[in-house]
Each structure stands twice: as C-alpha cells, then as structure tokens.
Amino acid sequence: AQSVAQPEDQVNVAEGNPLTVKCTYSVSGNPYLFWYVQYPNRGLQFLLKYITGDNLVKGSYGFEAEFNKSQTSFHLKKPSALVSDSALYFCAVRRERDDKIIFGKGTRLHILP
Amino acid sequence: EAQVTQNPRYLITVTGKKLTVTCSQNMNHEYMSWYRQDPGLGLRQIYYSMNVEVTDKGDVPEGYKVSRKEKRNFPLILESPSPNQTSLYFCASSPRVSGPSNEQFFGPGTRLTVL
C-alpha cells in the first residue's frame, strides 16, 4: 500500500546548526515528492519538489532535499537553521498513475535560539 | 493576487445542521482538493476534482459531499455534521493533473467545531 512516513514527530535544532527532517515513502510507479511547510494559523506552503533528474533539489528559504531511490527517502535539509524555520513540515507523494496525494503526518521543527 | 480563499474561516455549529464551506481559486487551476488536518493524523484527503463535473473520493469521504460546477469553485458540504467532523479543513488547487505533477496552493483553512 502506498504510504509516506515521517518518523519523527518533533525535531529540535539549535540555531545555526544544520537540520534534517526525514521522510520515507512507499508507492508503486514513479513517485513525485513534495515538501510543504505550515506556519502557525496558516495554510500549507510549497517548499520544493522532486519529479525527475538531479537527486538534490533546492527550494525556498534555503531548504533542499535529497531523493534516494534505493532507500526510498526524501529528507529535507538546511545547512544553517534559523529560528524562523520553526514550523510544521509535511512530506507528500503524488502517485503517478492516479494522482492520489498522500501526506505524511508532519514533523514539528523547533529551532532553539 | 493569486490565491485560494475559503469561507468561513471559523465555524461553530451543532450536530445535524447542514453547512457548506466554500473554496474558490483565481488561478484557473484544473485540480482542486479538500483535506482535513487532525493532531497526530496529519493531512487526509477528503475529495478531489480533476476538472469541472469530475470528482473522486479521497481517503476519508464519509459524511462529506462536494461539487464542481465551475472551475474556480469547489464547495465542501456537510449534510449532517457530527462531532467527529470537528477539524481544520484546507482547500487546495494545482494547475494540471496530467503531465509533470505540480505543487498545490492551499487556502488559509477553516476551523470547524461541531457540538
């Protein structure tokens, strides 16, 4: 069955340190992978996506993500965290054959000053 | 400004009283979708629409109806709301369905409480 897993409910990182938010997926066919961010009292905002091509994808606000087909992962990364990066992050996969969208449960990222 | 709008933003109602949450987008997007967000469960898709007059069930369609009579509007209807439908609801749209997948644009959310 298709699924997306975000194994960490919460990630705490000190400001200025690198951050990683993990995502693994399980879908049949070619996966289209996305990261979204949700700030308090706001809707989700698109950060970046992987469709095909280079495994390292760069997105908004200095975020990037690495697609790893053998490990079926799409981890979100940033070299130097900011307090303003504190938010809820969602990984999502769009299955090619029927465009069904599957979201992970979200990871709350806390950047500590 | 390109956006997805939802109304109302907040709603408190009682069990069994029919309600409609409107969703409208001004980007001429073909694809629209409704989600509910619950603590610990993340986002779950309720219904989606690939184009006018085409709608399909998502993961949690029970107790909800939708319609897509116009491209820009995708209302969510709760014919007889129950307390387990208390949630935060998001409408989203994206440009196309076929071809390279596109990111979704989300509305600001509607917080619904059913007493």
Tens digit of each residue's pLDDT (9 = 90 or more) over B27-63: 999 999 999 999 888 899 999 998 999 999 998 999 9
Task: Assess A3–B contact: CB distance below 8 Å, yes or no.
Answer: no
A90 with B92: Cβ contact below 8 A? no
Q: Does A49 touch chain B (CB under 8 A)?
A: yes
For residue B103, give the nearest of A42, A46, A106 by CB distance: A46
Q: How confident is the model at residue A31 (pLDDT cuts 50, 70, 90)?
A: confident
Please state the rounded mean pLDDT for residues A41-60.
Answer: 90
Residues facing residue A11 across a β-bridge: A109
Q: Which residues of A touch B101 (CB under 8 A)?
A: 32, 49, 51, 94, 96, 99
Instruction: With beta carbons less than 8 A apart as the criterion, state whether A11 and A86 touch.
Output: no
**CA angle at B82 for the pair B11 and B15, rounded to the nearest 5°:** 70
Our CA-based measurement puts residue B110 at a distance from the nearest CA of chain A, in whole angstroms, of 10
Decide: B69 and B3 in contact? Cβ < 8 Å.
no
CA–CA distance, A104 with A90 (Å, rounded to integer)? 6
Long-range CB contacts for residues A18-21, cutoff 8 Å, separation at least 24: A18/A77, A18/A78, A18/A79, A18/A80, A18/A81, A19/A77, A19/A78, A19/A81, A19/A85, A19/A109, A19/A111, A20/A75, A20/A76, A20/A77, A21/A75, A21/A76, A21/A77, A21/A89, A21/A91, A21/A107, A21/A109
Q: Do A101 and B33 make contact, defined as CB atoms within 8 angstroms?
A: yes
pLDDT single digits (tens) B14-37 = 999 999 999 999 999 999 999 999
User: Is B92 touching A (CB cutoff 8 A)?
Assistant: yes
| Cα–Cα distance measured from residue B28 to residue B39, given in angstroms and rounded to the nearest whole number | 32
Q: Enter the DSSP assignment of A72.
A: T
Measured between CB atoms, does A31 come within 8 Å of chain B? no
Q: What is the CA radius of gyration of chain A?
A: 13
Task: Check CB contact under 8 Å for B97 and A94.
Answer: no
